[in-house]
Amino acid sequence: MKLYFIAGERSGDLHGGNLIKYLRAYRPDCQLRGFGGDFMQQAGMELVVHYRELAFMGFGEVIRHLGKIHRNLNLCKTDILSFRPDAVVLIDFAGFNLRVAQFAKKNGISVLWYIAPKVWAWNTGRVKKMKKWIDRLFVILPFEREFFKRYNWTVDYVGNPVLDAIKNFQFDEQFGARYNLPDVTVAMLPGSRRQEVKRMSLVFKQVARQFPDVVFIIPMVNNLKMEYYHELRAEPNIRVLSAPAYDILKNARAAIVTSGTATLETALLRIPQVVVYRTSSFSYFIGRALIKVPFISLVNLIAGRKVVEELIQQDADVKKISEVLRELLHNEALRKEVLKGYEEIYRLLDTGSASARTAELIINFFEERGMLNAQNT
């Protein structure tokens, strides 16, 4: 079994790595190659391009890097034809991967997609193309199955890989003592892309100045250089640690989180949070016109209601973030209400291992077509 994987950002690399571990456990003979990151490479995939060469945030950033994106897309297509996989396994990263899906389908290669594009949030017109190009779609949010059913498309809900990652993580019970942390810390997660860190640095350091007696901890993302955190590290009560984000979150009383997968990770680790999001004015203008959902955080989207405060664009300022953070640190009634919402989300997502289930379904896909025997499954 030959599979070509494509993940274009940190979360996709993490979940792709866990999926590959199960695939290799079930089929040790499988050959895996593709675009991704350290997790996927360590799990056994031959890495062609690292996702740090692909991850651009916002419409403006994408437009400025169209040439680089186009070159990587052409490289990807050439490499797929050279490798001749039985299927491409696409992980999120819709703009790039939809083009790969179309290309693979035209060349007689099966297309399997893990972690669906967020077409329920915007650009629902993509669903028609997705149905034409994708052979199997594995979704990770409970409401996605019903969404695609409205388009006469039966997809597989496999559970959520974020919960897999947390359950499998080996927490450092001596983390606080090891780093000499005080009893009360606040985790700051400015994002996994250089543009996100740059954009949030000024706001985050000004927030820290409102709480001189609180230590703020930022997990350094391994694909970013320490120099990108220079402005934040200059603050006396901000520490940037080259340590797992899960350990940092687990030892925090509250968190400030840039919207994305990290909001769900923070919720499943049961840390009260305020979600913030800023992008360029151009990207925000376009996004506001296109996005059709009432929330931006996965926490609130999965719950179907407001569990955590979301501060977007101009609302993500020092005053408002500080006000919400102060409540999260000291208002026990609010903390209890947030944690109650987290428990609801945990129960919704706790359906077993998404990585294991997806690996089983991928193998079944080939067995049903007579391309594999049942040996080693």
pLDDT in tens, 117-149: 989 887 788 999 999 999 999 999 999 999 999
pLDDT in tens, 14-47: 999 999 999 999 999 999 999 999 999 999 999 9
3-state secondary structure of 362: helix
Asked if 60 and 283 count as a contact pair (C-beta separation under 8 A), the reply is yes
Question: Against a cut of 0.85, is the pTM above it?
Answer: no
Asked if 158 and 140 count as a contact pair (C-beta separation under 8 A), the reply is yes
**What residue spans define the domains of the chain?**
2-159+353-368, 172-349
Domain 172-349 class? alpha beta
Asked if the domains 2-159+353-368 and 172-349 are classified in one and the same CATH topology, the answer is: yes
What's the CATH architecture for 2-159+353-368? 3-Layer(aba) Sandwich (3.40)
Per-residue pLDDT of the chain (377 residues; tens, 9 = 90+): 999 999 998 889 999 999 999 999 999 999 999 999 999 999 999 999 999 887 555 555 555 556 677 899 999 999 999 999 999 999 999 889 999 999 999 999 999 999 999 898 877 889 999 999 999 999 999 999 999 999 999 999 999 999 999 998 999 999 999 999 999 999 999 987 777 888 888 999 999 999 999 999 999 987 677 888 988 999 999 999 999 999 999 999 999 999 788 999 999 999 999 999 886 554 545 455 446 667 889 999 999 999 999 999 889 999 999 999 999 999 999 999 999 999 999 999 998 899 999 999 999 999 998 877 544 43
* CA within 13 Å, CB half, 333: 0
Query: Cα torsion at 189, 192, 197, 203 (round to 10°)?
Result: -30
Nearest by Cα to 43 from 68, 12, 64, 72: 12
Cα distance between residue 317 and residue 150, in whole Å: 39
